[in-house]
């Protein structure tokens, strides 16, 4: 086990939503309509994940992606800082018959990959939990976990609107996506995300990706507030 210096970021003190609260985990699973088995299966197919591959899912949450990757026969490492999330994901994996997942309670900055280098690192809707300085450390660690030419897939709340438009863009986003109480993520949830979590601009993320040894082969600015990247680790 690595000993971390006193200045190291404490990942156990999670910003924003408390994912150690079991009730919040079940609500999360219900509200996270961007992560259904069908959508995750489509992503697994799009990435070309198959039985010979090793896949690391960082911030796995309730495990929808890890489960679909495992159903191909791939070796999957599902990593999350929250024990409550992992317990929920484990129970879902068992019900789905996904038997090739190793669950690890660890964070972006503390997970130590002990097995063979991965073909894929996937992280969805989770990296925003880290301030930018620590996102850079996380990218360096992701690069170290991958084989040369390995693939990093990143999707998150990442802003591609012009910086000067930030007030209008954030307000517009929240108005468009917020649901009434009890029907999904509310305006309060999105407000808290912007205020307390660490979503940042696409050009900052892109600078970090290239400086950590990735080539960005696809950048999809799906909306002004969600971005996905497909990257290859330089050989």
Ligand X SMILES: C[S@@+](CC[C@H](N)C(=O)[O-])C[C@H]1O[C@@H](n2cnc3c(N)ncnc32)[C@H](O)[C@@H]1O
Report the nearest approach of ligand X to the CB of residue 120 (Å): 14
Element (H, E) at 171: helix 166-177
Among all chains, which residue has been given the structure tokens 């069908």? 38
Range in contact with ligand X (rule: CB under 6 A) among 53-61, 97-105, 140-148, 221-229: 53-61
Q: Which of residues 97-116 bind ligand X (CB under 6 A)?
A: 107-108
Among 55, 77, 80, 159, binds ligand X (CB under 6 A): 80
> Quick check: 85 binds ligand X (CB under 6 A)?
yes
What b-and-e string marks burial along 39-52, b requiring 16 or more CB atoms within 10 Å of the CB?
ebbebbeebebeee
User: Among residues 61 and 150, whose Cβ is nearest to ligand X?
Assistant: 61
Tally of CB atoms within 10 A around 87: 15
By the 10 Å C-beta count (0-12 exposed, 13-18 middle, 19+ buried), 89 is classed as buried
Report the nearest approach of ligand X to the CB of residue 125 (Å): 4
Among 53, 104, 113, 124, binds ligand X (CB under 6 A): 124
> Quick check: 55 binds ligand X (CB under 6 A)?
no
Token pair for residue 182?
A: 């009890």
Distance CA 149, CA 87 (A): 33
Among 22, 27, 31, 32, binds ligand X (CB under 6 A): 32
Binding-site string for ligand X from residue 5 to residue 24, where x marks contact by CB under 6 A and - marks none: ------x--x----x-----
Looking at the DSSP bridge assignments, the partners of residue 57 are 78, 122
Going 115 to 121 to 122 to 128, the CA torsion angle's sign is positive
- Coil, strand or helix: which one is 156? strand
State the number of CA atoms in the 13 A half-sphere of 214 facing the CB: 31
Range in contact with ligand X (rule: CB under 6 A) among 119-127, 172-180, 204-212, 226-234: 119-127
> Quick check: 126 binds ligand X (CB under 6 A)?
yes
> Quick check: 121 binds ligand X (CB under 6 A)?
no
> Quick check: 82 binds ligand X (CB under 6 A)?
yes
Distance CA 93, CA 38 (A): 15
Residue number, nearest CB to ligand X:
61
Report the nearest approach of ligand X to the CB of residue 9 (Å): 8
Distance CA 216, CA 225 (A): 19
> Quick check: 125 binds ligand X (CB under 6 A)?
yes
> Quick check: 145 binds ligand X (CB under 6 A)?
no
Report the nearest approach of ligand X to the CB of residue 82 (Å): 3
Residues in the chain: 235
Contact positions vs ligand X (CB under 6 A):
11, 14, 19, 32, 35, 58-61, 80-82, 85, 107-108, 124-126, 129
């Amino acid at each position: 086990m690595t000993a971390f210096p006193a200045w190291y970021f404490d990942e156990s003190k999670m910003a924003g939503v408390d994912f150690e609260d079991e009730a919040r985990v079940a609500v999360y699973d219900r509200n996270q309509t961007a992560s259904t088995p069908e959508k995750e299966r489509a992503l697994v197919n799009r990435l070309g994940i198959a039985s010979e591959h090793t896949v690391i899912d960082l911030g796995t949450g309730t495990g929808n992606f890890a489960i679909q990757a495992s159903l191909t026969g791939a070796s999957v490492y599902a990593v999350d800082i929250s024990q409550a999330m992992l317990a929920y994901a484990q129970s879902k994996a068992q019900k789905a018959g996904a038997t090739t997942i190793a669950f690890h309670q660890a964070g972006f900055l503390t997970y130590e990959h002990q097995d063979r280098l991965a073909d894929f690192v996937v992280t969805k809707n989770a990296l925003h939990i880290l301030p930018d300085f620590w996102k850079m450390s996380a990218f360096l660690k992701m690069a170290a976990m991958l084989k040369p030419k390995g693939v990093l897939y990143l999707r998150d709340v990442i802003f591609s609107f012009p910086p000067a438009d930030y007030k209008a863009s954030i307000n517009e986003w929240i108005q468009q996506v917020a649901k009434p109480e009890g029907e999904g993520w509310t305006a309060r949830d999105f407000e808290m995300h912007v205020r307390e979590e660490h979503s940042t601009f696409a050009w900052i993320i892109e600078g970090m990706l290239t400086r950590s040894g990735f080539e960005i082969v696809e950048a999809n600015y799906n909306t002004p507030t969600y971005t996905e990247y497909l990257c290859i680790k330089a050989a």
